[in-house]
Amino acid sequence: MKIQVQQSDKIDRLDKFIAEKLPNLSRSFLQKQIKTGSVTVNGEKQNAHFKPAIGDIIEIEKTEKDVPDISANKDIKFDIVEETDDYIIINKPSGLVVHPAEGIHEQTLVNGLLAKYPDIKNVGEDELRPGIVHRLDRDVSGLMVIARAQKMFEHLKKQFKERSIDKEYTALVHGVIEEEDGMIDTPIGRSKTKHGKMAAHPKPVGDLISKGRGPIIDREAQTKFKVIERVKHYTLLKVKILTGRSHQIRVHLNSIQHPIVGDTLYTNKRVKPQDLNRLFLHASELGFDDLDGEHKEYKSELPEQLKQFYETLN
């Protein structure tokens, strides 16, 4: 689509100007298109703050949002640990995104779940996340509980909100942690420096200011850890999160200078990167109460790839 700036137009910064012309598109969507070069002014890329002039020709390559694919796909593989009428326990493999979303152009766990369990289609609060009450990052493996009925979804959601769900992870980090156990109690919010990245901010909530974007909203976050074993320049940990923030374990461990092996986003220049093609982070234990009030506990061993890597360290 092409728009020529007229003398009668109210001229503002580029993203605002286009938003006025195309009110069906959100500013965030337009900013993303401008950033990726899908919007040009007189054939040249500009930033969102650019102010067009009368006579300029603005070309917008994409004027419709991607529609996430929620079709069933039986080719998506995952291990089933247990299935009941109310819920399913699965082992999510590394490399698999949990649910569709704008900007995700690959098949997800949800596509596979819908193929095997079509009854979950209307369970939950979001059609893109049927049955999903919690997530694991793309490159994290391990246990997940999927609600198969709305009553179970609400029941699990309540337990997550009350922090009564038991979730334990196994992680291998760079460096030797001297303490036998500890807790990281540092708020987590959006990174001030990198879009899409989270950061631990050891300051009072709301105290941080991000240039040009107003206050950063931090949320409390607590992560407990216990040393399982120290091997050479690494430490194998048992990790338990008391809150559920985005990338919490990765952010917190990196904040104490012990990033997770295989993590290329939350790391530092002092560590020697390991080409695992995944994170050495596995959701190994999961516990919750079922609808009858009976406490259920599930355990999952490390995947073979992580076992083999760990054995090479000894």
> What's the chain's average pLDDT?
91
Contact present, 104 and 98 (Cβ < 8 Å): no
In the CATH scheme, what is the homologous superfamily, with its name and number, of domain 2-60?
A: RNA-binding S4 domain (3.10.290.10)
- Count the Cβ atoms, other than its own, within 10 Å of residue 276: 18
Question: What confidence tens digit (pLDDT) does each residue in 23-37 have?
Answer: 888 888 888 889 888
Q: Of these residues, 12, 15, 126, 137, which one is catalytic?
A: 137
Question: So where are the chain's domains?
Answer: 2-60, 66-162, 171-280
Query: Which residues does 235 contact at the CB level (< 8 Å), separation at least 6?
Result: 172, 173, 175, 176, 177, 227, 229, 258
Q: How many CA atoms lie within 13 A of 30 on its CB side?
A: 23
Any idea what DSSP says for residue 260?
B
Cβ proximity of 148 and 120 under 8 Å? yes
Q: Is 223 left (phi over 0), alpha (psi -120 to 50) or beta?
A: beta
CA 229 from chain centre, in angstroms, equals 28
Specify the CATH architecture of the domain 66-162.
2-Layer Sandwich (3.30)
**Same fold flag, 66-162 and 171-280:** yes
What is the topology classification, in CATH, of domain 171-280? Answer: Pseudouridine synthase (3.30.2350)
Lowest-pLDDT choice from 48-52, 68-72, 212-216, 222-226? 212-216
Query: pLDDT higher for 212 or 147?
Result: 147
Q: What is the pTM of this model?
A: 0.78
56 catalytic? Reply is no
Q: Minimum mean pLDDT among 199-203, 244-248, 249-253: which range?
A: 199-203
What average pLDDT does range 224-230 have in this prediction? 98
Segment 131-185, tens digit of pLDDT:
999 999 999 999 999 999 999 999 999 999 999 999 999 999 999 999 999 999 9
The Cα 36–Cα 28 span in angstroms is 12
Which range is most confident: 66-75, 190-199, 267-276? 66-75
